[in-house]
């Protein structure tokens, strides 16, 4: 008999500071949202919330609700409210490298003043990623990233090793279907079990046929080590199986052209490979 599958749902909001309406109209929505979130958290210590990886939302809120500052600090210090590490969520291709570094530096400093930053390079809404992002995140002491857009369609596992051109590697958590992939999971209590057993429905076309929570779980050691080339497990784009291989050394092979070898028994050959790996299990 299969043991029950544990599902962790992360309450959070994605926040566009200004988009199809002006900044101040969006701020009215932000204030109303966080008023409700913080009131719920005050009455239920089980409540947790992740605030989109950017300090701008916190600053915009506290300008209107300065009396909530002590509550925000207490929640951050208690590990119940995740803030940062960025000051704003950026478009990586419209900013200079210096701008990206200063954005992260300022966000980490502001987060520290509130009790500490979420130790994750949170980047799910970017329209693609610069190659050096793992290097920049690792330089700031962040060993993990969270991404959605810009991930190659051959990635069918929820975690993978993300390597910069200089060899710096971090662990990336992929959100199949987007940062709202569980938004409708519990809106009908009668359907929770069925929806959970087939999650994540609605992911990008070409995904694996069996998208159950267990098939997306990663149980291999995934602790990243900067400037190492870890073995990785990836689904090849034209096969129902998986392939294993190591990314080539930049000194001996053209960049971005990993060597793949057949790996029919991918659990045995990948999941138990020593060192940092990225494997579905």
Q: Tens digits of per-residue pLDDT, 183-195?
A: 888 888 888 888 7
- Mean pLDDT score, 33-44: 97
Report residue 14 as tokens: 């994605």
Q: For residue 49, what pLDDT is reported?
A: 97
For tokens 């990635």, name the residue. Answer: 155
For residue 148, the SS3 value is strand
Q: For residue 257, what pLDDT is reported?
A: 34
Phi, psi (rounded to 5 degrees) for 161 = -90, 125
User: How far apart, in whole angstroms, are the C-alpha atoms of residue 167 and residue 161?
Assistant: 11
**Is 125 one of the catalytic residues?**
yes
Q: For residue 108, what pLDDT is reported?
A: 97
Using alpha carbons only, give the angle 174, 212, 127 rounded to the nearest 5 degrees.
Answer: 25
Domain boundaries, the chain: 7-116
Beta bridge pairs of residue 278: none
Using alpha carbons only, give the angle 115, 119, 122 rounded to the nearest 5 degrees.
Answer: 115
Considering the domain delimited by 7-116, tell me its CATH architecture.
Alpha-Beta Barrel (3.20)
What's the pTM value of the predicted model, to 2 decimals?
A: 0.70
Handedness of CA 18, 23, 26, 27 (dihedral sign): positive
Q: For residue 149, what pLDDT is reported?
A: 87
**Candidates 125, 153, 166, 187; catalytic one:** 125
* pLDDT tens, position by position, 97-136: 999 999 999 999 999 999 999 999 999 988 899 999 999 9
* Residue bearing the bigger pLDDT, 54 or 208: 54
Q: Is the pLDDT of residue 253 over 90?
A: no
- Mean pLDDT, the chain, whole residue set: 75
Q: Is the pLDDT of residue 269 over 50?
A: no
- On the CB side of 140, how many CA atoms lie within 13 Å of its CA? 26
Q: For residue 97, what pLDDT is reported?
A: 92
* pLDDT tens, position by position, 144-175: 999 998 888 778 788 999 999 999 999 999 98
């Amino acid at each position: 008999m299969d043991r029950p599958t544990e599902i962790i749902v992360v309450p959070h909001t994605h926040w566009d500071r200004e988009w199809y309406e002006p900044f101040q109209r969006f701020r009215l929505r932000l204030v109303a949202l966080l008023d409700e979130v913080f009131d719920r958290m005050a009455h239920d210590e089980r409540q947790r919330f992740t605030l989109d990886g950017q300090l701008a939302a916190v600053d915009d809120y506290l300008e209107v609700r300065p009396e909530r500052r002590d509550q925000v600090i207490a929640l951050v210090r208690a590990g119940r409210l995740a803030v940062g590490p960025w000051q704003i969520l950026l478009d990586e291709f419209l900013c200079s490298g210096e701008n990206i570094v200063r954005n992260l530096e300022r966000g980490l400093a502001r987060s520290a003043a509130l009790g500490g930053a979420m130790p994750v390079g949170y980047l799910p809404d970017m329209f693609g990623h610069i190659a050096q992002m793992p290097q920049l995140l690792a330089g700031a002491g962040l060993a993990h990233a969270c991404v959605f857009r810009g991930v190659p369609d051959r990635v069918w596992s929820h975690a993978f090793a993300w390597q910069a051109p200089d060899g710096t590697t971090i662990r990336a958590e992929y959100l199949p279907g987007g940062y709202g992939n569980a938004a409708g999971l519990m809106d009908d209590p009668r359907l929770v079990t069925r929806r959970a057993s087939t999650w994540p429905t609605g992911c990008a076309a070409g995904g694996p046929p069996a998208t159950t929570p267990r098939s997306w779980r990663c149980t291999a050691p995934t602790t990243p080590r900067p400037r190492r080339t870890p073995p990785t497990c990836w689904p090849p784009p034209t096969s129902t199986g998986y392939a294993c291989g190591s990314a080539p050394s930049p000194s001996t092979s053209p960049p971005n052209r990993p060597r793949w070898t057949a790996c029919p028994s991918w659990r045995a050959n990948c999941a138990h490979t020593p060192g940092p790996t990225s494997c579905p299990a």
